Every structure is written in C-alpha cells, then in structure tokens.
Chain A
C-alpha cells in the first residue's frame, strides 16, 4: 500500500451526516392551523347551536371554571419545558393535583383555626412550593426519574391530605374566598381574573425572558445548554419548585371555587397532563407554551360548557380529549414519517 493511498482515503467525506429529524415547518404549520381550526369550529358550533353560549357572561364563567385546571396545567407546562419532550424519561410532575388538594386543605385549616387570609395564603403557597422543592431534590439531587419520584411524592401528599381531612370536606369561608368566588370584573369572575393575570405573568416569564429561553434549552437539548454555560440542574430544579407554587395557588383557587376542600383532588391529575400536552399543538415549534396551555385549558372548558348548554352528557368530554390527543399525535407522527 502506498502512502498516496492513505492520503486519498482521508479525502473521502465520511458518510455520517445526520438526517433531519424534525418534521419541518410544513407539518408543524399544518398541525397548528388544523388545531386552531378545530378550536374555532367547536367554538362556532356551540355559538350557533347552544343558547347563551356566546354571551359575555357565559364566556366569563368558563374562564372562571377553568382557573384551577389552568393554573395546574401552567405548572406542568413549566416542568415539561425544562424536562424535555420524552414524558417517561423527561420532565413530568404527577404530584401536582395532590399538591393542589393539600394546599387547599392547609388553607382551609388555617382559616378554621381563626387566622387571617394572609396567613392562609402564605401557608398554602408555602405548602405547594415545599412539595415542589421535594420533587426538585428527588429529581435533581437524588436523580430519580421524575415519573417515579413524583408518583411517590403524590402518594405522600395525598396521604397527608387524607390524614388531615379524614377524607371529609372541610368548609371554609373568608373575605378573600368570598371575593374570589363571587367578585367579578367586567363580568369575568374573580377566579378567572386571577387565572388570566397568572397566565400573563407566567407567559411573560416563559416566553419573554432569558430564564424562559434557558428553560427551553435545558429541556430540549441539555448538552447544548451546558455548552452555553447554563446551570442546567438549577434550571430543572426551578421548574419543579415553580410548578409546586402553581399547585399552591391552584389549591387556594379551588377552596374559593368549592367553598371548601375537595376529596377528589387527585382526579384532576390526568386532565392536567392531557391539557398541558395538548397545548403543544398550538405552538409553531410544537413545544409546550403558556399561551398554548391556556388555549387548551379554555378549549376543554368550552367543551364542557357547550355540552352542558346543549344538554349533552359532559361525560363525552374526556372521550373527546382522548380522541383529540390521539388524532393530534398520530397526525404529527405520520406527517413526520412522510417528510423523512
């Protein structure tokens, strides 16, 4: 073998250029347009068929009724963003619904014990945030897969809830609760106002600050985030703590909405997961976003409301949600297959 031979060997390009994995703009835009169209069609359909659907009062009501689900879904959105797209190995917080339940209980108990609303609000938010911190430690410090660690935390939190309430409803009333449940502004109930304000705040942080951008980088491509010198572990931890805070806030809202605690807070878990995941289709980049999650929350809210107004069984709602998520994900998957 000659020396030239070696020289020439090295002149051949290595055939390892990575193929594009992403579906590209066409698929994403189709999907996004399609989802928005479905949203609009559902809205139009109910407007045309259901009496009172398209009234300011009714729309305000839907926003108010969606507050608890919405705030929790926003919390989960943060975790999904920083944890990446793979639900099993990536970010997920299954303790959120139980978190809201326990925070609500803490709020109600503090009020019952005769303390002020301020103390109760602090207590509930601290409870939620503390639960988030436990998740953060489990995921970031101990390194347990989020799916598992948050299941364990969920069990503990739901258990403490049961111990405190003996599985009964704890009624609660206070000035703040009354204001939240019956106050309104421009015919939007106070709960809805809180939801909207919180969503705007969350959206500002996630979509418009460096912190938000860094959370996205952490979740989607941790190596790239590390290469950019970002504190990846701290960012991940932040998202769990922030999600915990959302749990606390949702707890307060649910006490106001129900005038007390609920024994079935855990049932909120899967709707929250579906809402947050469904929200990704409203984004151009097919990633979880706060506006997407809010749209998805309202979509579910209008669906329930429309069914009620049409005297249709609201039991169809979860079926529609399930079908939607399957349709949407199938469409994405198949479109991507086409393009590769």
Chain B
C-alpha cells in the first residue's frame, strides 16, 4: 500500500504547522500529523494536549489559525463538515450524534435515505434490510427491527455509529475513544473489525487513552504534548512505556509537594453506609489535615458514595457523623451548613455556572456571609472575591468577567474558590484535575496540600492513579460496590493500585479456587 520511498510516502492525511487558539489559550501550536494510506494511525496525548482540537479541525468544525492541511495531497484550507464527508472522512463518536427517537434504520440512513422506486417516500423496508445486512456482515449480529436508539446499549449505539460510517463508503475512519464504554469482549470485536477495515484499504485514525490498545492495534502513532507533535513513529519498535514518557513532561514529580501531616481530630465518620444497588457497607473515618484518596472503576460505587456524603443521594442504610454529630437526612444545603464542599467532576454541568460572573460563582454558596438583612454587601463581596482570585492566581480580567471566558483550569480554581469562600472544612474533590492544563494542575495540587496543612479534611476521588498516590495519605479502593482495600499511599505503586481497582487479584484467587 505505502510508497516504498521514504522521502515521499503515500500520505492520506498530511497536516503541518497547525495552530489554533481559543480566547488567548493556545490549543495547538504548530502540530503536525502524517497518516499513511491504509494504516491504523494512533493519536495519543494527555487531556489538553490538543487531540480534540486536531480532530475537530479534521472534521471541519474548527478553522485553524495557521498551517496547511493536505488530504490526498490536495490542500484543503477551507475544510467544512460537508467537505470532510465528501473527502470520505467519517467520525465515530462515543455514543453521541444519534437521534434518540429514531429507529436503527432511520439513524443509519439519515441524510441519504433510500426511496421507494418512483416515489418520494422512504423505503423503510430497504433501510432495515440493508441495515441488517451491513451490521450482520461486519459484526455478525442483528439488532431487532424497529428498535429505537434510546433503547440500545452503549455498545449497540456504537455499532450503529460505525455502520453509519461504513454505509458512507469511507476513505478515512476516525475512532474517538471507541472503547471507553465497552467491555473487553466488545472491544476485542472492535479491534478485529478495525483490522479488517484497514485490510480493505480504509485509513484509520485511532484516538485512545489506552496505550496497550495503541500498541496492539496501530501501525504508526503520533504523540501530542502541549499542542505540539513531539513524536511520530511506527509502533513496531515503540513500547507503551516509551509513549508514556513522550506524553508527559519529565519533571512531573515536582507537581506533588511534600506535605507535613498534622493529624487533628476526627471530623467525618461513616458507618456501614449502603446505597442499594450502588455500594454497601462502607465505613471510614476522616481526620483534620488528612487527604484520603478513593478510586474505583466506573460502576464501582465510589462516585455515588461521595455524592451521598454531600446529600445528592440518599443512603438506604448506615450512618454519617460529622464532628461526632449524627446526620439524619442530608441535602446539599445541610451538607454545606456542616462545612462540607463538593467539587464535582462535571465542571461545566455541575461545578461552575459559565453564564454567571467570576464573583457570582465564587460567592454562590456563601451568599449568607455577604448579606445584611438579606441585602448583599457588594463591596465586601467584591473584595473577598478579589482576594481569592489573587490567592488562587485565577487568570481573569476581573470579578465581573463571565466564567465561560476562563480556561478550564481557571474555571476549576473558581469551583474550589467557591468553597473557600464558604469556609468549608471537609472537601470532596471528584476528579479535581480533569480537563485542566498542566500548569493549573500543579497549582491545584499545591492548593489541596495547603488546605490540608491548614487543617481541612480532604477526600479525593480520582482515576488518575499517580495523582491519587501523589496527593493522598491513604487510599480506599472501591470494587463492585465495596471497599476492598485500604492502602497507604507511601507504599503503593500505581500498578498495584490498578490491580486492586480492576479486581484482578480477586479474579486470580477465584481462578485458583475454581
């Protein structure tokens, strides 16, 4: 397939010098991407490395500020979604971009519907027949007639997405984190499919966090870091470990400053807490000055447990005591009244209000502090917000700036500032650095340490294991609704932690017993 001459390989996609900035923040800084025809090409990089921006430029959703985009050797300075489709570039999104009230056939053929011959009417039977045929050919299974998208499982929706792209006779297929919501067996099925598609001559772009997948599946890989392409190499002589080294800055260790642990009195006790179908029999104690790490896979119950502590879920049994006082029915206002704070993972949906100003966000949970006879003391409010902006080094034009104009990292600082303003003492941080740039990450880590040193108690829920180990004093591992292990952060390694979280120990034990 590929041109033997190394000077002029047969490049299907050839991007060079691509730059793009959003509101002053540089998302891509002269990145390049060269994809050989008929290969599986991986793209890796940490969150914020610029993967999504690059893909959106390929999709015609963003226009680059600078750079050249060659598709099939032809420059495409004005790429639009329609043009991308014309060039045969198709995208497989996780499970989005399907109309939920449509049947499988309708979703598959939207935009290129077959008609009954000689009439303007939809040929529903043909739609269904062809859908069945394609799905059967590539996946060896059939999705029952007339099922709605909203009734399908995540994996089934993804099959529909892929089938939709295949019907369009794609030249390039872009898989965007395709296995994130799949179980092992489904993922294996997908890999087999991708290899087959490649063998049929389709060029595949494969974006994933899972380096072992890249290693197993891809021919070449491009590594992005801070908006630049730091490496583009064949996978054959690269290991997952090399890729990881390329993806991160060498001096990440500096991110986690050493903290002097000054243990104080117990502030939070949880006794045999259960939430039906989510987690059961969880107990823990948290003392002042401590950072407690929690991790667990999706569905392990860890997230629901943390939500329960903040009153967002009602436990079905068990007891929560805050500073020795039993909490009966807990709602978020009660939790805040007891100086609890929650920084949720979904920042834009739950953590901060993008359409409110920095000041309005910061004092949202502490309005009482700034009111006299229910009227806001606006000067005091502004001064307090200014002080917090300075303390957390929030980069903003001022307290009155709309929060939506800030970068992700600075938005997250405001999400935390909200609780500093509320003078919270027990912090529940759910994936505190997700979607945050490296610089802000370090600042947020430092802030968490500072909080603990000043006597706050912190629970960090994270799937970023080095982060968790770096931040925590001890770590609880949730597995299938139970705390299966408590580990000291000082002595655990990420791979041990991972083994616990994925339950591989248990599986091995079971295998021996069986």
* Chain A contacts to B: CB under 8 angstroms: 1-18, 20-22, 24-25, 204, 208-211, 213-214, 216-217, 220-221, 223-230, 285-287
Contact = CB atoms under 8 A, between A and B. Distances in A.
Contacts of A2: 493-494
Contacts of A217: 99, 102, 110
Contact of A7 (B98, B113, B241, B463): B241
B98 A224 contact: yes
A315 to B, nearest CB: 36
A12 B463 contact: yes
A6 B241 CA distance: 8
A283 to B, nearest CB: 9
**Which one of A9, A14, A25, A216 has the highest number of Cβ atoms from chain B below 10 Å of its Cβ?**
A9
Nearest to B101: A285
B508 to A, nearest CB: 18
B95 interface: yes
A204 B121 contact: yes
Contacts of B465: 5, 8-9, 12
Closest 7 CB pairs of A and B: A228-B111, A22-B150, A210-B113, A5-B494, A285-B101, A6-B244, A12-B463
Contacts of A9: 463-467, 494
Contacts of A1: 252-253, 466, 470
B113 A17 contact: no
B133 to A, nearest CB: 20
Given A223-B97, A227-B97, A7 B120 contact: no
17 contacts: A3-B241, A6-B248, A7-B243, A9-B464, A9-B467, A10-B210, A12-B463, A12-B465, A16-B345, A16-B346, A17-B180, A20-B150, A213-B106, A213-B110, A221-B97, A228-B111, A229-B111
A285 B148 contact: yes
Contacts of A3: 241, 244-245
Contact of A10 (B151, B244, B245): B244
B406 to A, nearest CB: 21
A140 to B, nearest CB: 18
B503 interface: no
A10 B209 contact: yes
Nearest to A20: B150
Contacts of A209: 120-122
A6 B247 contact: yes
B405 interface: no
B97 A7 contact: no
Contact of B99 (A7, A14, A204, A216): A216
A332 to B, nearest CB: 14
Contact of B101 (A12, A210, A216, A226): A216
B302 to A, nearest CB: 8
Contacts of B211: 7, 10-11
Contacts of A210: 113, 115, 120, 122
Contacts of A216: 99, 101-102
Interface residues of B, number: 60
A225 B324 CA distance: 55
Given A209-B122, A229-B111, A14 B209 contact: yes
A221 B99 contact: yes
A220 B101 contact: yes
B498 interface: yes
A221 B93 CA distance: 14
A214 B111 contact: yes
Contacts of A21: 100
B85 interface: yes
B401 interface: no
B267 to A, nearest CB: 26
Nearest to B252: A1
Given A5-B494, A220-B100, A15 B345 contact: yes
Contacts of A22: 100, 150
Interface string B100-129: 111000100011010100001110000000
Interface of B: 81-82, 85, 91, 95-102, 106, 110-111, 113, 115, 120-122, 148, 150-151, 154, 177, 180-181, 209-212, 240-241, 243-245, 247-248, 252-253, 295, 297-298, 303, 345-346, 431, 463-467, 469-470, 493-495, 497-498, 501
Contacts of B97: 221, 223-224, 227
Contacts of A226: 81
Contact of A4 (B100, B177, B241, B501): B241
Contact of A208 (B91, B122, B209): B122
**Residue of B111, B180, B243, B295 contacting most chain A CB atoms (<10 Å):** B111
Given A9-B464, A13-B298, A17-B298, A214 B110 contact: yes
A214 B107 CA distance: 10
Nearest to A220: B99
Of the listed residues A18, A223, A227, the one surrounded by the most CB atoms of chain B closer than 10 A to its CB is A227
B436 to A, nearest CB: 14
B128 to A, nearest CB: 14
Nearest to A230: B111
Given A10-B209, A204-B121, 20 more contacts: A4-B495, A6-B245, A6-B248, A8-B494, A8-B498, A11-B209, A11-B498, A13-B298, A15-B303, A16-B345, A21-B100, A22-B150, A209-B121, A209-B122, A213-B122, A214-B111, A224-B110, A225-B99, A227-B91, A229-B85
Contacts of B466: 1, 5-6, 8-9
A206 to B, nearest CB: 11
Contacts of A204: 121
Contacts of A11: 209-212, 498
A9 B209 CA distance: 9
Contacts of B102: 213, 216-217
Nearest to A285: B101
B161 to A, nearest CB: 10
Nearest to B239: A7
A13 B183 CA distance: 10
Contacts of B82: 229
Nearest to A212: B122
B494 A13 contact: no
Nearest to A17: B181
Nearest to A286: B101
Nearest to B181: A17
A12 B462 CA distance: 10
A220 B99 CA distance: 7
A208 B122 CA distance: 6
Nearest to A284: B148
B463 A13 contact: yes
Contacts of A211: 120
A13 B248 CA distance: 19
B179 to A, nearest CB: 8
Contact of B151 (A25, A227, A287): A25
Nearest to A22: B150
Contacts of A224: 96-99, 110
Contacts of A208: 121-122
A20 B100 CA distance: 10
Contacts of A24: 150-151
B52 to A, nearest CB: 13
Contacts of A220: 99-101
A22 B98 CA distance: 13
Contacts of A18: 95-96
B373 to A, nearest CB: 34
Contacts of A10: 209-211, 244
Residue among A6, A210, A214 with the most chain B CB within 10 A? Answer: A6
A79 to B, nearest CB: 17
B100 A221 contact: yes
B135 to A, nearest CB: 18
